[in-house]
Amino acid sequence: MKLTPIGIIHSPYTEPAGTPIQPTVAHGAEGTVEVFPEFAEGLQDLEGFERIWLIYWFDRAAPARLRVVPFLDPVERGIFATRAPCRPNPIGLSAVRLLKVEGNRLRIAEVDILEGTPLLDIKPYAPALDHFSIARAGWLEKVWAGRETAVADARFARREKGEKE
Amino acid sequence: MKLTPIGIIHSPYTEPAGTPIQPTVAHGAEGTVEVFPEFAEGLQDLEGFERIWLIYWFDRAAPARLRVVPFLDPVERGIFATRAPCRPNPIGLSAVRLLKVEGNRLRIAEVDILEGTPLLDIKPYAPALDHFSIARAGWLEKVWAGRETAVADARFARREKGEKE
């Protein structure tokens, strides 16, 4: 199970503190996905999709913890009940808006991802596959109700000396 | 970028042919997620969620191709405009229904995943994070409209001799 980066995500956010924590509160922030040329052929037909899932590697996340205090609530939670980046496999998932496909570059908006993040996969977002009628969404339900903004701080950022960031 | 399986997904489906291709057409099929005991602490607070994202490794997928003819349409598409398993990084994504958390085992339903699949991550599903209002969903829009059933065949299955499946 080895991963190969298929591209790099470019965004206005160079450090965790101040980065939107989800696309739903990214207020249109624009970015670019640079797909490496050897994978560009796989982008065909993507332009018909208004939104795409990006699957990426949280390369600047702190080491994995199994319990975290998430950004929006003061209560410690199991890591798998949160979307925090310091996970056993630091895989990120964001449904960003696709503005345009220009060769091997995707112009995107509503970006909640750090500049320079390694991209692992792209999948199309479709209501027929991704919308489920949900009655209960645990602790997230209350903290997200009516929320229009939410940015990260540095609590889940890697601390080691000499690393980028 | 190395992955560590955090568990194993158990399902009624032992081979690709006949397996539902998405949770939305899995008609309640039940399964179990066995999270390895060393990660069980991370499951706290998960039970409040009606649905969870499973991120997993398509361990029996054919080698990556950049263009595929998907299950529901006779037209060849770029791999990133499909959810087919033979991707450069064979990472699967399914929002399954969470029925119950029993220690380190999750009882799940609406499963579209093969028996024995390695689990990489679990994230909570929440409408506040995962529902987007979408006007265009590319080629998927037409083929999924009103569809109630869709199962795989063996076209994306690994072919090498002597391997499981």
Residue B161's pLDDT band (cuts 50, 70, 90): low
The closest CB to that of A137, out of B43, B126, B145, belongs to: B126
* Pair of tokens at residue A81: 């009940």
pTM over 0.90: yes
Residues of chain A neighbouring B112 (CB-CB closer than 8 A): none
ipTM: 0.94
Residue B163's pLDDT band (cuts 50, 70, 90): low
Residue B159's pLDDT band (cuts 50, 70, 90): confident
Does B63 have pLDDT greater than 80?
yes
Phi/psi-derived region of residue B123, left when phi > 0, alpha when psi is between -120 and 50, beta in every other case: beta
Residue A161's pLDDT band (cuts 50, 70, 90): low
> What is the per-residue pLDDT across A32-65, written as a single tens digit (0 to 9) for each?
999 999 999 999 999 999 999 999 999 999 999 9
Interface contact flag, A118 B22, Cβ < 8 Å: no
Residues of chain B neighbouring A52 (CB-CB closer than 8 A): 80
Q: What Å distances lie between residue A147 and A21, A26, B143, CA to CA?
A: 12, 12, 35
Residue B78, chain A, CB below 8 Å: the answer is yes
> What is the per-residue pLDDT across B100-110, written as a single tens digit (0 to 9) for each?
999 999 999 99
Does A159 have pLDDT greater than 90?
no
Structural contact between residues B55 and B120, judged by C-beta atoms closer than 8 angstroms: yes
* Domain covering B7-144 in this structure, CATH number: 2.40.30.70
- Cα angle B101, B27, A142 (rounded to 5 degrees) comes to 45
Domain boundaries, chain B: 7-144
- DSSP-derived pairing of the beta strands B105-109 and B67-68: unpaired
A78 CA: distance to closest CA in chain B (Å): 4
Burial class (CB in 10 A: 0-12, 13-18, 19+), B42: buried
Residue A48, chain B, CB below 8 Å: the answer is yes
B4 CA: distance to closest CA in chain A (Å): 7
Go through A37-76 and write b for each residue having 16 or more CB atoms within 10 A of its CB, e for each that does not. eebbebbbbbbbbbbbbbbbbbbbbbebbbebebbeeeee
Q: Considering chain B, what is the average pLDDT of its residues?
A: 94
Does A157 have pLDDT greater than 80?
yes
Question: If you count residue pairs, one on A and one on B, with CB atoms under 8 Å apart, how many are there?
Answer: 224
Interface contact flag, A95 B53, Cβ < 8 Å: no
The two counts, helices (H) then strands (E), for chain A are 2, 8
Spatial separation of the C-alpha atoms in residues A70 and A76, rounded to whole Å: 7
Q: Among B107, B45, B101, which residue's Cα sits nearest to residue A138?
A: B45
Does B130 have pLDDT greater than 80?
yes
User: What is the reported pLDDT for B135?
Assistant: 87
Structural contact between residues A86 and A65, judged by C-beta atoms closer than 8 angstroms: yes
Q: What Å distances lie between residue A133 and A83, A130, A146, B24, B94, CA to CA?
A: 20, 10, 18, 11, 15
Query: Could you give the percent of chain A with pLDDT greater than 90?
Result: 92
Residue A4's pLDDT band (cuts 50, 70, 90): very high
> What is the per-residue pLDDT across B11-41, written as a single tens digit (0 to 9) for each?
999 999 999 999 999 998 999 999 999 999 9
Spatial separation of the C-alpha atoms in residues A6 and B102, rounded to whole Å: 37
